């Protein structure tokens, strides 16, 4: 079965070998999930909209609430383009976002008054979610290196009405070493090995993987140095490869892992104790999350 999938979606042989090495026979299920188009999912932006508006104004798409997060909806059969044409979308009352990518901000538990760094932030799905979860009260610094993506981040932060967000267009590795934050989200650049779908070109390569691995470690080290003692860091990637996830977390000295509660209804792959790795299954995309405490 997986040979057919490999041919059709051009999943590189080196990646298939890695998935088989890490997950054994479960790799076939993962590859089969990559062959399915995920439904459109969205998050209600509580800074501007509410669930009632989504349920009434988007009724024709039969929105279903996700089991793990009351702000998340699944719209089977809807097209992104159709959603983008709605008033709710244009007014920033909803944000199209994959279910798995809503997890890291939930685990960071942002509160009003806390200083929070979103270290690699564009296009801003998690920055705006952090703001919404804190009811606009968290003091967020959102950093993005890429100029073009930074403009997208700025646009989304404004459109979603996320207040108290300071935007920095710079390499997070060069952030002022005297900054200190209560909480940090490092949603790291990664090889994207958990996110393939038939409509997207496959961009994975071993070269990209190695580049991401070294960047992830540098960013993680920097993030930990910018965290206050007693602070929390959430590290996430949309990769399901150990090299980008558990190995990155284990490379960090002095941090303590905080156990994560499994999100209701999310399929999980085996991962290191106290971390989570969501399995790609046609609804969820592959995603890794770890929460670290700085003593």
Distance, CA of 127 to CA of 166 (rounded, Å): 11
DSSP 193: T
In the complex, what is the shortest distance from the CB of residue 214 to ligand SAM, in angstroms, rounded to a whole number? 11
Cite the DSSP H helix spans in 58-172.
80-84, 87-90, 103-108, 125-133, 147-159
Cα–Cα dist 169/27, whole Å: 38
> Rounded to whole angstroms, how far apart are CA atoms 122 and 150?
6
3-state secondary structure (DSSP) of residue 14: helix
Among 102, 172, 209, 269, binds ligand SAM (CB under 6 A): 172
**Near ligand SAM in 213-242, by CB under 6 A:** 215
Which position among 65, 149, 164, 217 is part of the footprint of ligand SAM (CB under 6 A)?
Answer: 149
The residue nearest ligand SAM at its CB is 120
**Residue 75 to residue 197: CA distance in whole angstroms:** 17
> From the CB of 174, what's the least distance to ligand SAM, in Å?
8
Among candidate residues 143, 238, 250, 277, the one labeled active-site is 238
The mark string for 101-140 relative to ligand SAM (x by CB under 6 A, - otherwise) is x------------------xxxxxxx--------------
CB of 263 vs ligand SAM, minimal distance in Å: 17
Three-state DSSP at 268 gives: strand
209 binds ligand SAM (CB under 6 A): no
Among 35, 143, 223, 227, binds ligand SAM (CB under 6 A): 143
Which residue, 120 or 160, is less far from ligand SAM as judged by CB? 120
The residues pairing with 234 across neighbouring beta strands, listed in sequence order, are 185, 291
- Would you say 185 and 117 are in contact if contact means Cβ atoms under 8 Å apart? yes
CB of 151 to ligand SAM, least distance (A): 11
Among 171, 243, 247, 274, binds ligand SAM (CB under 6 A): 171
Q: Where are the alpha helices (DSSP H) in the chain?
A: 2-9, 13-23, 26-34, 51-57, 80-84, 87-90, 103-108, 125-133, 147-159, 206-225, 246-250
**238 catalytic, yes or no?**
yes
| 173 counts as binding ligand SAM under rule CB under 6 A | yes
The residue ranges that bind ligand SAM (CB under 6 A) are: 101, 120-126, 143-146, 149, 171-173, 187, 189, 215
Active site residues: 238
């Amino acid at each position: 079965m997986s040979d057919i999938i490999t041919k059709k979606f051009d999943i590189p042989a080196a990646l298939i070998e890695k998935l088989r090495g890490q997950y054994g026979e479960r790799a076939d299920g993962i590859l089969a999930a990559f062959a399915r188009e995920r439904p459109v999912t969205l998050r209600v932006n509580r800074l501007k909209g509410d669930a009632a508006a989504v349920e009434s104004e988007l009724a024709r798409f039969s929105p279903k609430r996700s089991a793990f997060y009351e702000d998340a909806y699944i719209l089977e059969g809807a097209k992104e383009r159709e959603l983008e044409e709605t008033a709710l979308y244009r007014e920033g009352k909803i944000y199209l976002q994959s279910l798995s990518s809503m997890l890291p901000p939930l685990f960071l538990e942002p509160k009003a008054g806390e200083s929070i760094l979103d270290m690699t932030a564009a296009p801003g799905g998690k920055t705006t979610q952090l703001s919404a979860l804190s009811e606009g009260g968290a003091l967020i610094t959102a950093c993005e290196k890429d100029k073009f993506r930074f403009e997208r981040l700025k646009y989304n932060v404004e459109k979603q009405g996320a207040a108290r967000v300071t935007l920095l267009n710079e390499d997070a590795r060069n952030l002022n070493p005297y900054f200190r934050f209560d909480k940090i989200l490092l949603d790291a650049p990664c090889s994207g090995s958990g996110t393939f779908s038939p409509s997207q070109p496959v961009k994975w390569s071993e070269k990209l993987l190695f580049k991401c691995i070294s960047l992830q470690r540098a960013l993680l080290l920097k993030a930990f140095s910018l965290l206050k003692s007693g602070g929390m860091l959430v590290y996430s990637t949309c990769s399901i490869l150990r090299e980008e996830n558990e190995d990155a977390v284990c490379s960090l000295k002095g941090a303590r892992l905080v156990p994560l509660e499994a999100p209701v209804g999310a399929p999980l792959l085996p991962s290191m104790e106290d971390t989570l790795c969501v399995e790609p299954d046609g609804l969820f995309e592959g995603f890794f999350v770890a929460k670290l405490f700085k003593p």
